[in-house]
Amino acid sequence: MRVLVIEDDAELAEAVAVGLRRARMAVDVAFNGPDGMARALENDYDVIVLDRDLPGMHGDDICAGLVADGRRSRVLMLTAAATTEDLVHGLGLGADDYLPKPFDFPVLIARIGALLRRAQPAIPPVLRHGDLTVDTARRTVSRGGRRVELTPKEFGVLELLLASQGRTVSAEELLERVWDEAADPFTSAVKLTISRLRAKLGSPPLIETVAKSGYRI
């Protein structure tokens, strides 16, 4: 799934992005309020990790703006302040969760995972199809009791296809939801990832190509 990190501390932002990518998430980063707001409105993110004290545009204003625009992205607000008043204010603006700095990274991962499961459409903690099991919380995959090791992009594609419950998902949607903003829209990355994923999942094949439309399970 796709996450936007809006944080003006470049070192912290990059560290969070690296950790989330290791957890098999596609991550974009913005280092100020206006850039973060523009990206949040331009792309369909599942979760936005939002620092409250940002240059150019306050995190509170970004949160309120996203709600006013009808965005479905879940917002996890970060702040150096940890008072009850700040918590109530942030949640009142439309934030879905609130995490004071400094924080333990496993806690951040767990909070983002919980928000992902509450995203629209809701993704269950465990997805199953026949003998295939995908644990979206632990980010693990098994088929017929055999552990299947996937790359972050392979996991993201499989997760989205399973969550779509038989709906055909276009290559464009897969590229938008699983890759980050650096992805080339004319790349063959989706086709190659599907090919590798099919090989790793084995027989009988699970992923069907729908001519001129995309892929489905």
Instruction: Give the domains, in start order, of the chain with CATH numbers.
Output: 2-117 (3.40.50.2300), 126-216 (1.10.10.10)
Range 105-114 contact pairs with CB under 8 angstroms and sequence separation of 24 or more: 105/16, 105/19, 108/16, 108/19, 108/49, 108/76, 109/19, 109/20, 109/23, 111/76, 112/3, 112/20, 112/25, 112/47, 112/49, 112/76, 113/137
Q: What is residue 97's predicted lDDT score, i.e. its pLDDT?
A: 87
Distance of CA 20 to the CA centre of its chain: 9
Over range 140-153, report the average pLDDT.
93
**Count of CB atoms situated within 10 Å of the CB of 96:** 19
Mean pLDDT for the stretch of residues 15-25: 88
The dihedral sign for the CA sequence 83, 85, 90, 91: positive
Mean pLDDT, the chain, whole residue set:
86
Residue the block writes with tokens 């038989």 = 166
Give Cβ neighbours of residue 22 (< 8 Å, ≥ 6 apart): 152
pLDDT score, position 87? 63
Dihedral pair phi/psi, residue 93, rounded to 5°: -80, -15
**Mean pLDDT value of segment 46-75:** 89
Residues of the chain above pLDDT 90, percent: 45
Torsion sign over Cα 203, 204, 208, 209: positive
The answer to whether residue 120 scores a pLDDT higher than 70 is no
Residue bearing the bigger pLDDT, 71 or 105: 105
Backbone angles phi, psi at 175, to 5 degrees: -65, -40
The DSSP bridge partners found for residue 97 are 76
pLDDT at 76 over 90: yes
pLDDT: which is higher, 94 or 12:
12
